[in-house]
């Protein structure tokens, strides 16, 4: 017996839409709730474990990097020969010069590392023990037990408080050599904020530091941050920690990291994740109901109109005049065809964008290649030249190496002191190629020399003096003055100068955010200074002294 019969097309379409929506929601809900429970904990634990693994990997890389820098300082072909000469000589001036050279090389190695903070060469039995150091304060090798000794001649100490910064640091000592039966070593500490900033990356949802600790191979806590259940020097008991926390671990060959998540925080994350899934299901149900209504509006009305016209007008209705409602099916077909064409176009565009992004990512990776091997090579050649008496060649290589460090360094922000030093190195290199006069006048308070500014702003202007000056007896003048709360930097030459029309046009371009009409060098200088100092900087071009040559003036409001 048939309880209900669908007599109209409308009722059949409505019922099919409702059944389709209900079945899809039912299957989606059953599948989701079957898998969500077991995936909750897996997803949450993976999140905590990935955060801990990232910190552990960075800590392992930091220890490797400290060992690499220490190995570079004790390499037999490096600065060890200068250190040995320093120990053996008794001439005060000679010792001072050797100490300066060794300190420059130490700073050079530290510059290449984002982990190393300070280092020193020390000689047990001498007074003072740390006789060459680049530390600001006192840097004394610690009297602490070994953390581990993984590398030959290198010993890592248990993390402890540095006498220089008063904060917990990583430290190591590496055997450097022997002079007259006396051993000397390299002692090195990490940056004062490295451990704290590394461990503070793991926080809960409210931004509070989570409990994390560093444990040695014997299970002893050596460093902890946050509200940790065990203090430094105590044994880590995982069973006891599980009473209040959910522990996660990262294991290395000689040390381990433990992250202890409070049970309340773990449950809070679990509840929030559960609410997200429930909300998603409700949104899907509402969306399915809305789509069912839209399908009914879009499909039933044109079909119902078309059926009525066929039944009312007969076959000739197919060829006669069609009303506005009967044309909806044709319009839908046209729209579907337009959608198909648009989808094909978008897919082609996405494929093209993907290829372009891959190319740009490759170019970005190439631009980030660390150029430290270039500096090491130039430094080795300079040391070899100095050892063979080629002092001018060694000085030229030193200037070139310093200039490369300044222009290709990791940080695009520098100080006025370093910028002026880079300009001197560039002038020195140019004077090795051609003959010209150079005059520099600096009239600045000492504190202004440490003012931050964008790098590579003086060299492009000085380079224009050589390219556009075209004077037989070229003279370049560099000045830095402090007048009326303004820092003024001036570069001028005695070359052929520029016409008044070009001068006015260039000054107008320099007033804008980016000097589009200027050369590449001035365009970069104008953009970099105005983006860094906002409205507190002005650039102007004009004639030099006695109306000859060209002068570029940069004024910065202090």
pLDDT at 214 over 90: yes
CA angle 146, 149, 150 (to 5 degrees): 150
27 CB-near residues (< 8 Å, 6+ apart): none
- Residue bearing tokens 């104008």: 526
Among 139-143, 238-242, 370-374, 550-554, which range has the highest average pLDDT? 550-554
* pLDDT score of 320: 47
Residue ranges covered by each domain of the chain: 74-195, 417-557
- E-strand ranges in 397-444 read 413-415, 437-443
- The pLDDT-based confidence of 62 (bands split at 50, 70, 90) is very high
Q: Is-contact 259 51, C-beta < 8 A?
A: yes
pLDDT at 39 over 80: no
Alpha carbon distance 186, 118 (integer Å): 11
For the domain spanning 74-195, the CATH number is: 3.30.450
CATH ID of 417-557, from 3.30.565.10, 3.40.50.2000, 3.40.50.970, 3.30.420.40: 3.30.565.10
- The pLDDT-based confidence of 319 (bands split at 50, 70, 90) is very low
pTM: 0.45
Q: What is the pLDDT of residues 403-414, one digit of tens each?
A: 776 666 545 688
pLDDT at 227 over 70: yes
pLDDT at 486 over 60: yes
Average pLDDT, the chain: 78
* pLDDT score of 10: 60
pLDDT at 223 over 70: yes
Q: How many CB atoms lie within 10 A of CB 345?
A: 10
Alpha carbon distance 420, 291 (integer Å): 68
Among 51-55, 229-233, 292-296, which range has the highest average pLDDT? 51-55
Q: Is-contact 176 190, C-beta < 8 A?
A: no
Q: What is the pLDDT of residues 259-303, one digit of tens each?
A: 988 877 777 776 777 777 777 777 877 887 777 677 766 666 666
pLDDT at 61 over 80: yes
Q: Maximum distance among all alpha carbons in the chain?
A: 120
Taking residues 302-310, report their average pLDDT.
Answer: 63
Taking residues 464-490, report their average pLDDT.
Answer: 85
387 CB-near residues (< 8 Å, 6+ apart): none
């Amino acid at each position: 017996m048939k309880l209900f019969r669908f007599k109209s097309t409308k009722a059949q379409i409505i019922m099919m839409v409702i059944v389709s929506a209900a079945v899809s929601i039912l299957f989606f809900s059953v599948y989701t709730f079957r898998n969500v429970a077991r995936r909750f904990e897996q997803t949450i634990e993976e999140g905590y474990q990935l955060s801990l693994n990232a910190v552990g990997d960075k800590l392992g890389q930091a220890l490797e990097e400290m060992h690499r820098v220490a190995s570079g300082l004790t390499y037999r072909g490096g600065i060890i020969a200068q250190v040995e000469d320093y120990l053996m000589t008794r001439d005060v001036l000679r010792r001072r010069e050797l100490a300066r050279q060794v300190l420059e090389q130490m700073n050079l190695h530290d510059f290449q590392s984002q982990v190393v903070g300070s280092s020193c060469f020390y000689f047990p039995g001498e007074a003072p023990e740390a006789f060459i150091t680049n530390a600001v304060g006192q840097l004394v090798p610690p009297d602490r037990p070994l953390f581990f000794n993984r590398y030959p001649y290198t010993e890592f100490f248990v993390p402890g408080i540095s006498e220089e910064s008063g904060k917990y640091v990583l430290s190591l000592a590496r055997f450097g050599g022997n002079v007259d039966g006396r051993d000397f070593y390299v002692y090195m500490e990490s940056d004062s904020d490295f451990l704290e900033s590394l461990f503070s990356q793991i926080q809960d949802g409210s931004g509070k530091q989570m409990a994390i600790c560093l444990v040695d191979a014997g299970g002893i806590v050596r460093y902890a941050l946050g509200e940790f259940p065990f203090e430094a020097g105590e044994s880590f008991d995982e069973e006891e920690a599980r009473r209040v926390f959910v522990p996660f671990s990262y294991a290395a060959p000689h040390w381990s990291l433990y992250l202890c998540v409070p049970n309340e925080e773990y449950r809070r994350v679990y509840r929030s994740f559960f609410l997200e899934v429930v909300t998603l299901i409700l949104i899907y149900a509402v969306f399915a109901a809305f789509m069912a209504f839209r399908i009914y509006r879009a499909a039933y009305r044109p079909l119902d109109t078309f059926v009525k016209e066929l039944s009312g007008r007969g076959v000739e209705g197919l060829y006669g005049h069609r009303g506005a409602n009967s044309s909806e099916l044709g319009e839908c077909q046209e729209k579907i065809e337009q959608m198909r064409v648009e989808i094909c176009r978008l897919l082609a565009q996405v494929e093209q964008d993907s290829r372009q992004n891959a190319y740009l990512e490759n170019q970005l990776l190439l631009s980030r290649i660390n150029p430290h091997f270039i500096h090491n090579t130039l430094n080795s050649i300079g040391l070899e030249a100095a050892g063979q008496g080629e002092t001018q060649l060694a000085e030229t290589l030193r200037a070139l190496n310093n200039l490369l460090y300044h222009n290709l360094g990791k940080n695009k922000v520098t100080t006025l002191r370093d910028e002026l030093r880079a300009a001197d190195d560039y002038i020195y290199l140019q004077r090795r190629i051609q003959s010209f006069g150079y005059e520099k006048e600096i009239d600045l308070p000492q504190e202004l020399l440490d003012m931050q500014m964008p790098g590579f702003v003086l060299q492009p202007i000085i380079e224009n003096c050589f390219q556009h000056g075209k004077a037989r007896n070229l003279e370049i003048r560099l000045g830095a003055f402090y007048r009326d709360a303004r820092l003024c930097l001036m570069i001028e030459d005695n070359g052929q100068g520029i016409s008044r029309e070009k001068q006015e046009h260039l000054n107008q371009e320099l007033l804008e955010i980016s000097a589009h009409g200027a050369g590449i060098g001035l365009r970069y200088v104008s953009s970099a200074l105005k983006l860094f100092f906002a409205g507190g900087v002005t650039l102007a071009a004009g004639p030099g002294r006695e109306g000859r040559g060209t002068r570029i003036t940069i004024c910065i409001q202090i």
